[in-house]
Amino acid sequence: WVLLRTSFGNWIFATGGDDKAARNVGVPVDRVKIMLFVFTAFCATVYAACQVLEFGSAAADRGLLKEFEAIIAAVIGGALLTGGYGTVIGACFGALIFGVVQMGIFFTGIDSDWFRVFLGVMLLMAVLFNNYVRKRVTETR
């Protein structure tokens, strides 16, 4: 809702697309980036607190490579790595697809080392498909 219905959401998209252009139209790019980093840190703190309450301790390796999986889920959902495009609904669908594939690979009994290779292939295919769609949409006739 914040991304689609508020001016701050528009500022987020503008900052992600091209910060120089966003600065030229009056978006406080530095303030937006700082607020997003603070919000990310707040979410990480809440998640860590929930993990400590659930498991009774903290482990530094509990979130190992989760950022890579989050990037893959967002790209599968239609977000561009260059920024400026993407939706929350798309990221949710990307996470759903990623989770289904992850569970499917787990239940087939494939070695976990090959799962990392499959993650990279999924990311590459999603980036190529997103670039193809973007070029087709922005193509001048």
C-beta atoms surrounding 11 within 10 Å: 20
- Count structural domains, the chain: 2
55-73 pLDDT, tens digit per residue, is 887 777 777 778 888 888 8
18 and 33 belong to one structural domain: yes
Q: Which of 17, 41, 61 is the last residue of a domain?
A: 61
List b or e across 28-57, with b for residues whose CB sees 16 or more CB atoms inside 10 angstroms.
Answer: ebeebeeeeeeeeeeeeeeeeeeeeeeeee
Type of residue found at 103: M
| Domain around 130 | 65-141
Q: What is the pTM of this model?
A: 0.62
Element (H, E) at 79: none
- Residue 3 to residue 10: CA distance in whole angstroms: 6
130 and 76 belong to one structural domain: yes
Q: Which of 82, 72, 75, 86 is nearest to 116 (CA)?
A: 72
What does the pLDDT read at residue 57? 77
Q: Which of 40, 61, 82 is the last residue of a domain?
A: 61
What does the pLDDT read at residue 42? 96
15-42 pLDDT, tens digit per residue, is 876 778 878 788 888 898 899 899 999 9
